[in-house]
Structure 1
Amino acid sequence: MIILYTTPSCASCRKARTWLKENNIEYLEKNIFKDQLTEYDLKVILSLTENGTEEIISFRSQIFHDLNIDMEDISLKELIHVILENPSLIRRPILIDDKRLQIGFNEEDIRRFLPRDIRKLELKKLQEKILMNY
């Protein structure tokens, strides 16, 4: 099951939600303000990142600047606590399943959440189209 972490005013979150609905993909939406993030949620998200906290923190957000966090001097435990207290620190949307993670909305990247058989069918159609143009 895909979990979609969102906020109400996020345009990229709306795009991700619309894409999932249009492709008939089941998902569970968690509004990070209303359905408070847990330490477990953050640890699952971080376990799927390639660059750890660097991927999920919104360094351009006003809250990041207001809190004046020095990423070099803060422990992971402290950072998780700060994020739980200030969920707007994380980038959105975040889509995860048991083995994939996507932060932000990118129409090409989100396709990896399509079931494998549909991706194979689309690849086959694309290859046929390319061959027909030669």
Structure 2
Amino acid sequence: MKMYGISNCDTIKKAKKYLDANSIDYAFHDYKKSGIDTVTLEQWLKSVSLETLINKRSTTWRQLTDEQKHQLIENQNLAILVENPTLIKRPVLIHQQHILVGFKEADYQALLEKE
């Protein structure tokens, strides 16, 4: 199991707390510190939509130009996400062939019950 996000994010902290409380092992990838690549993003987009992946409530989204937003949404210019990983909703949890974006305890519990 691997979790992607930013370590100082409150939602990441909640997700980590849930996993730790349930004794679930996971690796954490801080994409603000370690970055993210287009290959990983393309893999995610096989399971979730770009709309699901983008955090349109973020400060980073509001700072993009209209042209950048258009390039990202309409043309799926993933380089914009690579350059601005804080545009990605958090956390992104990868478990086997499943991907969860955001943290909802019920979703995590349902995913873990599939094991």
Q: TM-score, normalised to structure 1's length? A: 0.75
Match of 2:51 in 1: 54
Residue identity matched to 2:75: S
Q: TM-score, normalised to structure 2's length? A: 0.86
Structure having the higher Rg: 1
What is the aligned length? 112
Paired residues of 1:25 and 1:114 also in contact (CA < 8 A): no
Residue identity matched to 1:24: S
In 2, distance between residues paired with 1:100 and 1:23? 19
Residues 20-71 of structure 1: per-residue CA shift (max 9 Å, x gap): 111121211000111211112111221111xx10001011112112112126
Pairing partner for 2:99 from 98, 101, 105: 101
Report 1:40-119 matches (<5 A).
40-49=39-48, 52-68=49-65, 69-70=69-70, 74-76=74-76, 78=77, 80-116=78-114
Residues 1-29 of structure 1: per-residue CA shift (max 9 Å, x gap): x1101212211101111111111212110
Match of 1:15 in 2: 14
Residues 55-103 of structure 1: per-residue CA shift (max 9 Å, x gap): 0101111211211212687412x2x100000001111111112321111
Structure 1 pair 72/83, CA: closer, same or farther in 2 (3 Å)? Answer: closer
Percent identity reads 27
Paired residues of 1:4 and 1:29 also in contact (CA < 8 A): yes
